[in-house]
Structure 1
C-alpha cells in the first residue's frame, strides 16, 4: 500500500515547488543583503536566515498537507475550527494588531510576526470548496446555496479592507469568482450574481462618495498617479515604479550578474518583497525572469490539470482555488512592478520574502500534491471503483472510494 501511494505522487510538481523556494531564497539574500545592513542595522544574511527558517518549517507543513488525506478537511469540527480561527484572528487585529506600512495587519507573539490575512486566503478556499461540495444537489438554489458563501466571504473581505489591506481582499474576491465559475452553478445563476453585483455597485456609489476621504486616501490616489506617469512623478508617487522600471530595463537579456544589482543600494524600496522580480530582471535578465515565470506556469498549469482530473467536487474546487490564488497573486505582483496595475504590496509567490505568505503557499502546494496523489492512485489502482452519480447532475463529479493510509 505504501509503495503504491509513493508511486502516485507527482514528483515533478514537488520538485517545481522546492526549486521555486530555493531560487527565491537565493534572490532574497541577493536583494536584501544591502538593505539588511543599511536600513535595518542587521547582518547581511538577516532576511535570508529568516526565510530559510520559514521554508524549513513550511516544508514540514508541506509534507503533512501532502500526506494527510485532504478530505479530512471536510470534517465538521476541522472545518469549523479553521473558520473560527480565521475570523477570530482578523477580529483580534483590531485590538492587538501591529501596524506596519499604514496597515494594522500583523500580530506579534513571542518575537514572531504573522499576517492572519495570508492564512485566511487558504481558509476561505477550503471553506468554499467544502460548502459547494455539500450543496451540489441544490447548487443553483439562491437562498440555500448561492448566497450564504458569498455573504460570509464578503464579511471576511470587509474585515481585511478595514485593516486596511485592499490587495488581499481583492485576491480573495477573485478567488471566489474562480471557484464560483467552477462550482457547477448554471450560467443563469452566475448571470444573476453579476446583475446583483452591478446593482450593489450602483446603490453603493452614493455611500462611497460620502466616505471618499477615507476610501480614497492620498496614498491610494498617488498609486494610480504613479502608474500613469511614473517618470513625471519620480520624486513622489512614481518613485517605486520608476526605479523598478530602471532595474528591469538595465538587465537586458542576461542581466548584470547575480549580486550586481544597482537598484538594491537604497534606490528601490522593498527590493526583497514586492519588487524582487525587478531585481531578478536586473541581475539575471530576461532569462532569469522567464525561468521564474516558467516554474510558476508549470505549477499553475498542473494545478488546474489536477482539478480537471479530480472526480470529487471538494478536490476539484480545492485545486482550482489554490491554483487561482497563486496565479492571481503572481499577476498582481508582476502588474504592479511593470506599471500595468497600481502597486498593492502583493508578494510574488514562493519568491518574495515573507514568512506568513511562504508558509501558506507551502501548505497550499502540499494540498495540491495531496489531491494529485489521490487522482493518480485512483487511476492506477482503483480503476472503475468510483461511484457514479446521475449524469444530469451538474457538475458531473464522482466521489472516489477512499483508501486507508
Structure 2
C-alpha cells in the first residue's frame, strides 16, 4: 500500500520546484551581494544565508503538506473555521502591531524576521473557496445560497489588504478567486449575475473614494510605462534600469555574478527585479529556464485539476496553479514594462521567507492532490475493471 502511494507521487513537480528554488537561491546571492554591503553594511552573503534557512524550513513544510491527505482540509469545524478566523485576525493585527515597509503596513517584525500575513492569506482563500464551492456543487447555481456567502470572506480579506495599502496583493487574491469561481461549475447565467453584482458593489466605492483610490505614486507607475527614460531620474528610475539590465544581457548574458545594474543602479535587485539580473547575467537562456519551469508547474497543476474527480481537489489544484501563474505574470510584466510595477515577488526565485514558505505549503498540497489522482486512476480503476470482468481461481481474468 505504502509503495503504491509513493509510486503515485508526481516527482516531475517536485523536481521543477527544487530546480527553481535552488536556482533562485544562487541568483539571490548574486543579486544581493552589493545591496547587502552598500545599504545594510553586512556581509555580502547576508540575504543568501537567510534565504537558505527559509529554503530548508520550506522543504520540511513541503514534505508534511505532501504527506498529509489534502481531504482533511474540507472539514469546516476543525479546519476551515479556524483558518478563516486566524487569517482575518492576522490582517487586522497589522493595524496595531504591523511594521511599515515599502509604504505599506503589511509586515510583522519579530527580531530580525519579517512575516507578511497576506502571502498566507492567498492560500487560505484558495482552500476556503475550493472547500465551500465543492460542498455546494448540488446547488452551485443558486445565487443567494450557493454563490454569495463564500464571497463575504473574500471581500473582507481584500478590503483589509487594500487598507494597508497593498493593491497588488488584493488584485492577485481577487484574480485567484475569479479563477476558482469560473472553475466551480457555475453556469454562464450565474456568473453573469455575479459580474453585475460585483460592478454594482464597486461603483459606490469608486464614487466615495474618487481620487483617493490610487495615490499619486501609483498613478506615476502607470504613466511611466509609456517612456520610462523620460523620467529616468525620478518615476521611471526602476523600469529604465530594468530595461538597461535586460539589454545588457542580450542572448548569452554577461556571466553569473557580473551584472552591472545590481551595483546600486537597480533597486530591489534581489526581490522584485531579480529577473532583470537573471537576464543581464545569464541572457535569454536564464530567462527561458525560469519561464519554462514556471509554465510547467502551472500547466501541470491545471492538468491535475482537470483529471481530479474530487471537486475539492480539482479546485485546489486549479487555484494553486493560477496563483503561481498570476504572480509570475504580474512580476514579469512589471519588470518588462508590460504592466505597471506592483512589487510582487517572482515565485520560487525572489528573496522572501513568507513567499517561500507559502509556496512550499501550496506545492505540497498540489503534489498531494496529484498523488491521489494518480493512485485512484491507476489502482482503483484497475480493481474495478477486474471486478467487472471477473477473476478466475488462478488469478486469470474471465471475460463475461
Indicate the TM-score class for this superposition, using the shorter chain for normalisation.
over 0.9
Aligned to 2:73: 73
1:382 counterpart SS class:
helix
Return the alpha-carbon distance in structure 2 between the equivalents of residues 81 and 364 of structure 1: 18
1:104 counterpart SS class:
strand
- Contact 1:225/1:238, CA 8 A, preserved across alignment: no
Aligned to 2:180: 179
Gaps of 5+ in 1: 387-405
Return the alpha-carbon distance in structure 1 between the equivalents of residues 173 and 156 of structure 2: 11
- Contact 2:62/2:364, CA 8 A, preserved across alignment: yes
Which whole-Å deviations, capped at 9, do the CAs of 1:25-83 have from their partners, x for residues lacking one?
Answer: 00000000110111111100000011101110000110000000000111221111211
Aligned to 2:280: 282
TM-score (norm 1): 0.93
State how 1:369-380 maps to structure 2 within 5 Å: 369-380=367-378
2:259 counterpart SS class:
coil
Aligned to 2:394: none
Bigger shift: 375-384 or 17-26?
A: 375-384
1:105 counterpart SS class:
strand
Superposed displacement of residue 110, structure 1: 4.3
Superposed displacement of residue 259, structure 1: 0.2
Counting matched residue pairs gives 383
Aligned to 1:396: none
Aligned to 1:124: 125
Return the alpha-carbon distance in structure 1 between the equivalents of residues 75 and 199 of structure 2: 36
Return the alpha-carbon distance in structure 2 between the equivalents of residues 135 and 18 of structure 1: 36
Aligned to 1:26: 26
Aligned to 2:308: 310
Bigger shift: 68-77 or 342-351?
A: 68-77
Which whole-Å deviations, capped at 9, do the CAs of 1:257-281 have from their partners, x for residues lacking one?
Answer: 0000000000000000000000000
Bigger radius of gyration: 2
Aligned to 1:87: 88
Aligned to 2:198: 197
Aligned to 1:334: 332
Superposed displacement of residue 205, structure 1: 3.3
Instruction: Please tell me the root mean square deviation across aligned C-alpha atoms, in Å.
Output: 1.2
Seen in structure 2, the aligned counterparts of structure 1 residues 151 and 32 have a Cα distance that, compared at 3 Å, is same
Superposed displacement of residue 17, structure 1: 0.4
State how 1:55-74 maps to structure 2 within 5 Å: 55-74=55-74
State how 1:240-279 maps to structure 2 within 5 Å: 240-279=238-277
Return the alpha-carbon distance in structure 1 between the equivalents of residues 226 and 203 of structure 2: 26
2:108 counterpart SS class:
strand
Superposed displacement of residue 112, structure 1: 2.0
Superposed displacement of residue 225, structure 1: 2.1
Return the alpha-carbon distance in structure 1 between the equivalents of residues 31 and 70 of structure 2: 36
Aligned to 2:389: none
State how 1:198-237 maps to structure 2 within 5 Å: 198-209=199-210, 212=211, 214-237=212-235
Return the alpha-carbon distance in structure 2 between the equivalents of residues 196 and 87 of structure 1: 23
Bigger shift: 10-19 or 191-200?
A: 191-200
2:144 counterpart SS class:
helix
Return the alpha-carbon distance in structure 1 between the equivalents of residues 17 and 110 of structure 2: 29
Aligned to 1:299: 297
Seen in structure 2, the aligned counterparts of structure 1 residues 160 and 202 have a Cα distance that, compared at 3 Å, is closer
Return the alpha-carbon distance in structure 1 between the equivalents of residues 203 and 131 of structure 2: 32
Aligned to 2:165: 164
- Contact 2:206/2:213, CA 8 A, preserved across alignment: no
Return the alpha-carbon distance in structure 2 between the equivalents of residues 310 and 43 of structure 1: 48
- Contact 1:226/1:239, CA 8 A, preserved across alignment: no
- Contact 2:37/2:43, CA 8 A, preserved across alignment: yes
Gaps of 5+ in 2: 385-400
Return the alpha-carbon distance in structure 2 between the equivalents of residues 75 and 197 of structure 1: 29
Aligned to 2:322: 324
Return the alpha-carbon distance in structure 2 between the equivalents of residues 83 and 186 of structure 1: 27
Return the alpha-carbon distance in structure 1 between the equivalents of residues 161 and 94 of structure 2: 10
Seen in structure 2, the aligned counterparts of structure 1 residues 218 and 119 have a Cα distance that, compared at 3 Å, is same
1:38 aligns to 2:43 (yes or no)? no
Return the alpha-carbon distance in structure 2 between the equivalents of residues 385 and 147 of structure 1: 41
Superposed displacement of residue 198, structure 1: 2.8
